[in-house]
C-alpha cells in the first residue's frame, strides 16, 4: 500500500425525507443562496421540499446553471449573492450544479476577479483563505462532487475548461435522498451508473499493491452497480436499488477506493477529448474507451484483470487469457445492458476524428497517461481505433 492522505469531512444525510434535515445544518439567521440547474427540481418537488426546510430563513434562488457550468453564468450568481449579502450557498442538483456552486462559494470570498481562482489553481498557486459554507442536495448520483473538494469550470467565451480544488469548498453537508432520483430520465440514470463504475475501475484496475480493504471496497461497489444498475432502469421507483446506486456512486469517489493505490484515469482523459470533439455524454465516452483500453493494456494490467474477473464476474475457469477476455466482454455487456453503446459507431458517428483527438491530447500534455505513464499517444490512437 502506498502512503496516502485522506480527508472526507462532508456530513452525509442519507435517505428518504432527509431534505428536511437541512433545517438543522443551516443557522436560522442565515442568508442563503439556493442554486440549481434546469427546471427539473421545480417539477419534481425537490425545490419545494428545500424551500419548506429553509422555512423563514432569508433565501434567494439562482437557477439555470448548465451542464459543464459556464463562468459567465456563475459570475451572475456571485453578483446576486454579493448584492444580497448571502452567507450560505445551498446547491440543489447534480455534479454540474455542485461544481458551479463550489466556484460561487469560493468567488464570494475572493477579492480578485473570479476567473483567477481557476488560473491560479492551474498555475499551482491557488491559496483560498475561505469560502462561503456550502451545502448540497444531490439529485443525480454520478460525479462524487457532493463529498469532494474539486470542481471543473468552463469558460465558453474563451474555450477554457479548468479545475480547482480547495478544502474550503468541501460541502459541509450533503443530502442524499434516493427518492429524488426516481424521476431521472433513463439516459441520466444509466450515465450515472456507468460513470460511477468507471470511477472505481480507474482507481482499482491498475497494478496490485496489496491494498486489501481498498480492493474489496472497489469490488463491492462494482458488484452493487452490476446488480442494481439494471434494476433501477426497469424499476425506477425501487427504493432499495436506488439507495444502493446512490450510495455506491458517492463511495466511488469520496477517496476511500483510491487511498494508497495507483490510479489510472487514462480512460477519462481520452473521454474528455471525445466529448469536446464529438459531443458524446461523459459516460458514453467512458463506455466506449474503457473496454478498448482494458484490451490494449491487458498485459500491463494482467494481475488485476484476473482478480477483477474472479471477484466481480465470477470467472474462475479456463485459461488466464480466456478469463481476461471474459471480464472485458462482461464489462462491455454491462454497459450495453445499461443502454450505453460501447463503440463510437453506436452513437451514429461513422468516422471519429481520431487525428484531431490525438492533437488535443498532445496540446493538453496527455502523452503519458495511466498509472505508470504507459498510455502514449500511440496507445491512445490504438484505443480510439478499437473504440470506433
CB of 241 to a second copy, least distance (A): 8
Site membership for a second copy, residue 260 (CB under 8 A):
yes
**Between residues 184 and 243, which has the closer beta carbon with respect to a second copy?**
243
Is-contact 236 332, C-beta < 8 A?
no
**Between residues 213 and 368, which has the closer beta carbon with respect to a second copy?**
213
Site membership for a second copy, residue 216 (CB under 8 A):
yes
Q: Binders of a second copy: how many residues, by CB under 8 A? A: 42
All 3 cell numbers of residue 88?
Answer: 450560505
Instruction: Give the number of C-alpha atoms closer than 13 A to the C-alpha of residue 203, restricted to the C-beta side.
Output: 26
State whether residue 202 is helix, strand or coil: helix
All 3 cell numbers of residue 256?
Answer: 476511500
Site membership for a second copy, residue 316 (CB under 8 A):
no
Is-contact 250 146, C-beta < 8 A?
yes
Site membership for a second copy, residue 182 (CB under 8 A):
no
- CA dist., res. 330 & res. 63, Å (int): 40
- CA dist., res. 376 & res. 250, Å (int): 31
Query: What does each C-alpha distance from 77 to 94, 105, 152, 184, 220 come to in angstroms?
Result: 17, 10, 17, 26, 39
First to last CA, the chain: 37
- The residue range among 69-77, 183-191, 213-221, 376-384 that interacts with a second copy, by the rule CB under 8 A, is 213-221
Q: Which residue has the cell 491530447?
A: 361
CB of 350 to a second copy, least distance (A): 40
Task: Give the closest residue to 294 by CA, choosing from 264, 246, 268, 328.
Answer: 328
Near a second copy by CB under 8 A: residue from 34, 132, 217, 296: 217
x-or-dash pattern for a second copy, window 91-130, by CB under 8 A? ----------------------------------------
Site membership for a second copy, residue 251 (CB under 8 A):
yes
Which residues within the stretch 14-53 sit at the binding site for a second copy (CB under 8 A)? 14-18, 21
**Between residues 33 and 246, which has the closer beta carbon with respect to a second copy?**
246
**Between residues 221 and 354, which has the closer beta carbon with respect to a second copy?**
221
**Between residues 224 and 342, which has the closer beta carbon with respect to a second copy?**
224
Question: In this structure, what are the phi and psi dihedrals at residue 368, rounded to the nearest 5 degrees?
Answer: -150, 70
Residue ranges that bind a second copy, judged by CB under 8 A: 1-9, 11-18, 21, 210-217, 219-221, 223-224, 227-228, 240, 243-244, 247-248, 251, 256, 259-260
Amino acid at each position: 500500500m502506498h502512503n496516502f492522505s485522506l480527508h472526507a469531512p462532508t456530513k452525509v444525510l442519507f435517505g428518504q425525507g432527509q431534505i428536511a434535515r437541512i433545517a438543522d445544518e443551516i443557522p436560522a439567521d442565515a442568508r442563503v443562496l439556493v442554486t440549481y440547474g434546469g427546471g427539473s427540481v421545480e417539477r419534481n418537488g425537490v425545490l419545494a421540499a428545500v424551500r419548506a426546510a429553509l422555512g423563514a430563513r432569508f433565501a434567494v434562488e439562482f437557477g439555470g446553471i448548465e451542464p459543464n457550468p459556464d463562468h459567465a453564468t456563475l459570475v451572475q450568481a456571485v453578483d446576486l449573492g454579493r448584492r444580497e449579502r448571502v452567507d450560505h450557498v445551498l446547491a440543489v442538483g447534480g455534479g454540474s450544479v455542485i461544481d458551479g456552486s463550489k466556484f460561487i462559494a469560493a468567488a464570494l470570498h475572493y477579492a480578485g476577479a473570479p476567473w483567477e481562482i481557476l488560473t491560479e489553481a492551474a498555475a499551482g498557486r491557488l491559496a483560498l483563505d475561505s469560502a462561503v459554507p456550502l451545502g448540497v442536495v444531490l439529485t443525480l448520483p454520478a460525479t462524487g462532487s457532493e463529498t469532494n473538494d474539486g470542481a471543473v469550470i468552463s469558460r465558453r467565451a474563451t474555450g477554457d475548461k479548468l479545475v480547482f480544488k480547495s478544502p474550503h469548498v468541501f460541502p459541509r453537508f450533503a443530502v442524499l435522498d434516493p427518492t429524488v432520483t426516481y424521476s431521472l430520465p433513463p439516459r441520466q440514470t444509466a450515465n450515472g451508473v456507468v460513470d460511477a463504475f468507471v470511477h472505481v475501475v480507474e482507481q482499482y484496475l491498475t497494478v496490485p499493491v496489496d491494498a486489501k480493504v481498498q480492493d474489496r471496497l472497489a469490488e463491492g461497489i462494482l458488484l452493487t452497480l452490476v446488480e442494481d444498475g439494471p434494476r433501477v432502469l426497469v424499476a425506477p421507483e425501487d427504493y432499495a436499488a436506488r439507495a444502493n446506486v446512490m450510495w455506491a456512486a458517492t463511495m466511488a469517489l469520496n477517496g476511500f477506493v483510491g487511498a494508497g493505490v495507483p490510479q489510472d484515469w487514462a480512460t477519462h482523459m481520452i473521454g474528455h477529448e471525445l466529448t469536446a470533439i464529438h459531443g458524446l455524454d461523459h459516460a458514453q465516452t467512458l463506455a466506449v474507451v474503457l473496454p478498448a483500453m482494458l484490451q490494449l493494456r491487458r498485459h500491463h494490467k494482467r494481475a488485476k484483470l484476473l482478480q477483477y474477473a474472479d471477484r466481480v464476474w465470477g470467472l474462475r475457469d479456463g485459461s488466464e487469457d480466456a478469463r481476461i477476455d471474459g471480464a472485458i466482454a462482461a464489462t462491455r455487456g454491462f454497459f450495453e445492458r445499461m443502454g450505453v453503446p460501447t463503440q463510437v459507431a453506436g452513437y451514429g458517428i461513422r468516422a471519429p476524428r481520431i487525428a484531431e483527438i490525438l492533437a488535443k491530447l498532445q496540446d493538453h500534455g496527455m502523452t503519458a497517461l495511466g498509472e505508470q505513464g504507459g498510455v502514449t499517444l500511440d496507445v491512445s490512437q490504438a484505443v480510439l481505433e478499437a473504440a470506433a
